[in-house]
A and B are shown apart, each in its own frame.
Chain A
Amino acid sequence: MIDSDDFVQALQDIGFDFFTGVPDTILGGIIAVLGERNLYTPAVREDEAVAMAAGAYLGGKIPAVLMQNSGLGNAMNVLMSLHLIYQIPCLLVISWRGFEGKDAPEHLVMGQTMTQLLETIQIPCRTLSTESVVDDLKWTAQTVMSQRVPVALLLKKGVVKTVQP
């Protein structure tokens, strides 16, 4: 399992310096570390979070947004009618609720269709794995900055250490 501290440090090392989002249990450890480092600005909705990230990019930062995949639904219109047409880059760290159908009912449809949705709106994505974490993050940073688009990094349960529950 990847340590939350190491994950946040790796994101900072590759240049991300503005973090916002809406919590999920899978993301709890990462958000706690970001909070300790005074790097995290909580948002109330995921569309607000990605728009705030866009503003931070305009102000000179390289932003990352944390959300669970239900929030991707909330953020979709802003990603499509702001980031993707204005060429505003942003890392989306998305926790994969409903992976392989093993979750509460509200997560099942998004869990099953998320990667297709991302592909349909042409947001590049990769699933973080413990074995290839360095490679995954390097690819993420390169894709975000070279293509100037939102890029999704998908986090399954148990890949990055989290807090209770």
Chain B
Amino acid sequence: MQSRAQAMGALLELLTDQPVIVCNGFPSREAYKIHDRVTNFYMIGSMGVTASIGLGVALTKPDKKVVIFDGDGNVLMGMGTLATVGALKPKNFIHVVFDNEVYGSTGNQPTYSRWVRLDQVAKSSGYVNVERVWEREDIIYEFKDMLTKDGPSFLLIKINEQIEDADRIPLEPQEMTRRFKAALE
């Protein structure tokens, strides 16, 4: 099993100018540390709405593949959004969930994702391409495939609990808004 930082690093290497929305907590800090890009939007709060923000971007920028870097805790908190995405079926929507089965940013309290198959929930909700992967080569293969296919796509990556030593993001929130918005114009 990969750490989130390893899996995230592998995915970021495959991207060019696609917008990426990264969920709050350590995932955002890690993404900033591993590979900061002007088309990365880092959430620092508002847990549970990563996919909702991404959906808003995807609906207004249909010519760009929009990538969501989400976590199991975040998906469980806003699970209704899987229905919204599944019903609206944005073709340019790639929902990646790094699933470590814990609330890793607050001390590894267990989430329900070890009992509830989030990939099956996504499938039932109407996501078109759904995959669950563990190994690095599969992660890369499926993500590459999703970058070329019509979505919405859901890539559940089972990861270990390891957290990268990454500081808080030094950018001011309003600067992140300005930078990301300008990069999409």
Contact = CB atoms under 8 A, between A and B. Distances in A.
A95 to B, nearest CB: 21
Given A47-B48, A48-B81, A82-B46, A58 B57 contact: yes
Interface residues of B, number: 33
A9 to B, nearest CB: 21
Nearest to B46: A82
A157 interface: no
Nearest to B87: A42
B106 to A, nearest CB: 15
A44 B60 contact: no
B84 A44 contact: yes
Given A47-B78, A48-B78, A54 B56 contact: yes
B83 A87 contact: no
Given A60-B184, A86-B176, A45 B80 contact: yes
Contact of B84 (A43, A56, A58): A43
Interface stretch (B37-45, B116-124, B157-165): B37-45
A48 B176 contact: no
Given A55-B55, A56-B59, A86-B173, A48 B184 contact: no
B185 A60 contact: yes
B84 A59 contact: no
Contacts of A87: 173-174, 177
Interface of A: 18, 41-45, 47-49, 51-61, 63, 77-78, 80-82, 85-88, 148
